[in-house]
Amino acid sequence: MKHRRLMIAGTVVCAALGLGFAAEQQQRPEKTAYRETVVSATPSRDGYADVVDRVAPAVVTIRSAKRVRAAQQFPFMDDPMLRQFFGNGGNGVSPRGRRGNGNGNGNNDRSQMEHALGSGVVVTADGYIVTNHHVVDGASEIKVDLNDGRTLDAKLIGSDAPSDLALLKINASSLPVLPLGDSDRVRVGDIALAVGNPLGIGETVTMGIISAKGRATGLSDGSFEDFLQTDAAINQGNSGGALINTHGELIGINSQILSPSGGNIGIGFAIPSNMAKNVMDQLRNGGKVHRGKLGVSIQDISPDLAASLNLKNTKGVVVTSVEPNSPAEKAGVKSGDVIVAVNGSRVDDANVLRNRIAAAGPNSDVTLGVDRDGQEHSYKAHLSELNVEDETASASGNQGRGGAGTRGQLGVSVEPLRPETAQDLGLKGNVKGVVVTDVDPSGPAAEAGIQQNDVIMEVNHTPVASGADIRSALAKSTGRPALLLVNREGHNIFVAVRPGSGQ
């Protein structure tokens, strides 16, 4: 597989901050009060100049700064790629040295100012501006360059890392506003314009189409992603800028690019406007975003896993574990269930389920469509509130690639899981099964992804405590891949593996 690198669409050198980005699907919003001063326009005979004239004043440049402790040495600065991100950057810091901050400490001062450059969108005439979280994360100073030439100080109202969105406020009035469009109605193939300040050269407009919807880049575990993908040119500095339709409506906040070099190759990602509206409304009203929690660990369904579960297709997500006393457990959801719908809307993968549950919000009721042993069931769950930091691992939908059994049929050696071994592996709770002590690199288990120290808890829904239990349970495969429930580093995953003929 060719190496690919996901780069953040911002000159902030966000690689230095080590951030991941995410977005959360929201349901279609009601009519919003943000439609204030801009009248929608249609493309003129010569292009989209009329649209750009109306929306460009509502797209601004965001400059933020934070004081960071400088490293004592810069051993990697001979790499031109690293110099691009961590070089002078306009702050006067030499790749191999430091400067004083003006307080008389000179070279003895190991702190320096790290500057970030991005874009933002004015959403209310009295000065509320939406941008990316990674543009302003940790900033001690934020300034906004308006289209009319003014530069104003901005106050951070709230910032939400899981969605990579932040809301700012400047002291101004009668500002031009970019009205929100309905991102749910965006179609693949629609024309899209990206507006922002790439590489600090000044406000720039590029054109493309919507290439895909519902994209997940997987930059961080537990993230909420539902990106619009576009081939409109997005480069570093476009972060937080506008993706608009031909009516001059905001349909997305530009956030990421996929690139092996850091430059645009026509694969950019924008946070849908419906999600942005939900997040910024919550930030404006309380400074924090609240999300619903179901209390399950989930994973997508591979073709082998579908065969093991006797499913007709790979749609839906399989529940690998259910948190005790959670909304899911109270509703009747069990490990091994396949969730295929939420409130009547089909669930195709783990990302869709996470987004729908999160968007529903705490203290809301959702109806889950569940496939259990080939029979359809319906369960109503009363959601609690998600603590994103605590739920990162369980929400990640870790993908199991396969499974194991005994050295003969599955190509692994196992031994009973003893309390002292469980303690050494850092396992918590009542984990029972056999621990994998060795994996044949050419066996079915290795091909499926089983690793040393994995704990096999079940084979074909049968609890196992020895190699003999595994051999007995494998007899139930009846031509299908064997279904294993595996605990890996404290998290349950289902794994499908096709046993060999060894004994």
Catalytic residue among 64, 119, 133, 134: 134
CB 354 within 8 A of CB 392: no
Whether residue 382 lies in the annotated active site: no
Whether residue 239 lies in the annotated active site: yes
SS (H, E, C) 123-192: CCCCCEEEECHHHHCCCCEEEEECCCCCEEEEEEEEEEHHHCEEEEEECCCCCCCCCECCHHHCCCCCEE
Query: Look-up: residue for tokens 């400074």?
Result: 287
Pull the structure tokens for residue 440.
């044949």
Catalytic residue among 145, 160, 164, 349: 164
Q: Report CA Rg, the chain.
A: 26
Whether residue 290 lies in the annotated active site: no
The phi and psi torsions of 349 (rounded to 5 degrees) equal -155, 175
Pull the structure tokens for residue 486.
């595996």
Left if phi > 0, otherwise alpha if psi is -120 to 50, otherwise beta: which for 7? beta
How many Cβ atoms are within 10 Å of 50's Cβ, its own excluded?
A: 15
The C-alpha atoms of residue 240 and residue 32 are separated, in whole angstroms, by: 20
The C-alpha atoms of residue 438 and residue 450 are separated, in whole angstroms, by: 10
- Angle ∠(191,196,202) on CA atoms, nearest 5: 130
Query: Look-up: residue for tokens 């299908």?
Result: 480
For 408, residues 6+ apart whose C-beta sits below 8 A from its C-beta are 500, 502, 503
Catalytic residue among 239, 302, 394, 477: 239
CB 258 within 8 A of CB 269: yes
Active site residues: 134, 164, 239
